[in-house]
Amino acid sequence: MPIPNDTIVAVATAPGRGGVGIVRLSGPRAAAIAAQLAAPLPPPRTAALRHIRAADGSVLDSGLLLHFPAPHSFTGEDVVELQAHGSPVALQLIVQAACAAGARLARPGEFSERAFLNQRIDLAQAEAIADLIDAATAEAARAAQRSLEGEFSRRVEAIAAQLVEIRMYVEGALDFSDEDVDWLADGALGTRLEAARAALDELLARAAQGRRLRDGYTVALTGRPNVGKSTLLNRLAGADIAIVTEIAGTTRDVLRENLDLRGLPVTLVDTAGLRESDDPVEREGIRRARLALEQAELALFIVDARSGLSAEDRRLLEALPPSLPRLIVHNKCDLVPTLGTRAESADELHLSAATGEGIESLIDAIHRHAGLHAGGEGAFSARTRHVEALRRAAAHLRQAAQRLSERSMPELAAEDLRLAHEALGEITGRFTSEDLLGRIFASFCIGK
């Protein structure tokens, strides 16, 4: 994308009233426009109190003025911030005055886009800014901060550097393929390939954790009526979200609640009890329940611990979408006299939604199914496109290793290595189309 040479302006704080509101300018005329609005400019990176005036000299507001000269600014351009009162009207008047002086309104994400184009940050760091703003849990915010600081990018670049060395060796060997020496038989090449694959697999696992922290995890509560699904929802939510009665079929619609389960953002879906019914309203609830199950990433199949897994339960389990992971939860264990004899496994656990016993074990199991371990410690923010790019890189690297080990079609192995390298470059923006960049930055908020 070409580097723009105009000056942009936008309100950088959230919409609505507040104690302070910030108007941000970036571009070659940022300092000149700010001087027209609130002269004189203070020394760089020094806050000064100024009256902010319209073109006719009338005072619009008063506040702090800060100047960050290029290239030592967020965007790499001249940047000026006007910190005024948080009145939406006053802030818009300041923006209008800046536009009258020669600026134009910024597009969503344009400040971050300019930081990327001026090589102040890479694409993964730019996306981490939006992820930090949108973080739904403390762990998601920490993961986004790690990506913003460049931890994800550094790991990607380290693997890319390994691939460069491997590519140089392989392509050099192809250039001398008419000699008697089989350069591709060198054991050091295989060692390098295995090291790169191991590093890529480890990075992919951590990126998958980061994607969960960013995008969240959808968990559906399902099972026969009156087994305690709504009670479990209320227990996990810490509030009376769903109506709980002894009457089977109380839940008629799908209830969704967004929860923070020990740092993992979870959308918990409470569905109608699965059974045959003549009630048209309940039948519609069951239809919606089945639809919700098709969209879920994990099913908590609730059974009554007093009766155990019945034949009807087994029939309903078999009717779940085949690809949907499921965890069998034996609820109401507080009503079972032989608590000490119950067996736990990776796919089954016992708890009491009424008393809270076993809830922490359930949260552990949800984390495990989500691929999140130790609360996501050390994870960094990642998006679906990052995970897909890493998977493509891993697939190409695996194919290259196989071709080289079999001494078959080394030219295709070299092409696989190139494609793996390019897939990694898509993450940081080294090999990224303008189309993709446009879509990414259009998803940002205005002023960032």
Tell me: do 313 and 398 sit in the same domain.
yes
Same domain, 286 and 401: yes
Is 394 inside a domain boundary? yes
Residue 260 lies in a domain: yes
3-state secondary structure the chain: CCCCCCCEEEECCCCCCEEEEEEEEECCCHHHHHHHHHCCCCCCCCCEEEEEECCCCCEEEEEEEEEECCCCCCCCCCEEEEEEEECHHHHHHHHHHHHHCCCEECCCCHHHHHHHHCCCCCHHHHHHHHHHHHCCCHHHHHHHHHHHCCHHHHHHHHHHHHHHHHHHHHHHHHHCCCCCCCHHHCHHHHHHHHHHHHHHHHHHHHHHHHHHHHHCEEEEEEECCCCCHHHHHHHHHCCCCCCCCCCCCCCCCCEEEEEEECCEEEEEEECCCCCCCCCHHHHHHHHHHHHHHHHCCEEEEEEECCCCCCHHHHHHHHHCCCCCCEEEEEECHHHCCCHHHCCCCCCEEECCCCCCCCHHHHHHHHHHHCCCCHHHCCCCCCCHHHHHHHHHHHHHHHHHHHHHHCCCCHHHHHHHHHHHHHHHHHHHCCCCCHHHHHHHHHCCCCCC
- The domain that holds 17 is classified in CATH as 3.30.1360.120
Taking the mean position of all CA atoms in its chain, how far away is CA 239? 27
Note down pLDDT in tens along the chain; length 448 residues.
677 889 999 999 988 899 999 999 999 999 999 999 999 999 999 999 999 999 999 999 999 999 999 999 999 999 999 999 999 999 999 999 999 999 999 999 999 999 999 999 999 999 999 999 989 889 899 999 999 999 999 999 999 999 998 888 887 777 555 544 455 556 678 888 999 999 999 999 889 888 888 888 999 888 888 888 888 988 998 867 654 445 444 444 568 889 999 989 998 888 765 555 555 655 566 666 777 777 788 999 999 998 888 888 888 888 888 888 999 999 999 888 765 545 566 788 999 999 999 999 999 999 998 887 654 456 788 999 999 999 999 999 999 988 888 777 778 888 999 999 999 999 998 877 777 788 788 888 888 8
What is the extent of the structural domain holding 345? Answer: 133-429
Residues 96 and 153 in one domain: no
pLDDT value of residue 97: 97
- Domain end position, chosen among 101, 122, 143: 122
Q: How many residues does the chain have?
A: 448
Residues 186 and 238 in one domain: yes
- Does 444 fall in a domain? no
Q: Is residue 435 a part of any domain in this protein?
A: no
Give how far Cα 94 sits from Cα of 101, 135, 439, 445, Å: 11, 30, 29, 19
**Judgement on whether residues 47 and 118 belong to the same structural domain of the protein:** yes
Of 122, 149, 176, the one marking the end of a domain is: 122
233, 257: one domain = yes
> Residue 44 corresponds to which amino acid?
P
- By C-alpha distance, which of 150, 129, 157, 120 is closest to 3? 120
Angle of the 434-442 helix axis to the 123-134 helix axis, nearest 10? 20
Read off the pTM. Answer: 0.80
Tell me whether residue 2 is in a domain: no
Residue 337 falls inside a structural domain: yes
**Contacts of 341 by beta carbon, 8 Å cutoff, 6+ apart:** none
256 in the same domain as 345: yes
206 and 318 fall within a common domain: yes
Residues 257 and 373 in one domain: yes
Q: Would you say residue 437 lies in a domain?
A: no
- Given 91, 122, 153, the domain boundary residue is 122
Domains of the chain: total: 2
- The CATH number that applies at residue 323 is 3.40.50.300
The reported pLDDT for the residue numbered 342 is 55
Same domain, yes or no: 253 and 176: yes
**Is residue 1 assigned to a domain?**
no
Let me know whether 180 and 32 are in one domain.
Answer: no
Residues 47, 158 within the same domain: no
pLDDT value at residue 322: 86
Give the pLDDT confidence score for residue 184 in this predicted structure: 58
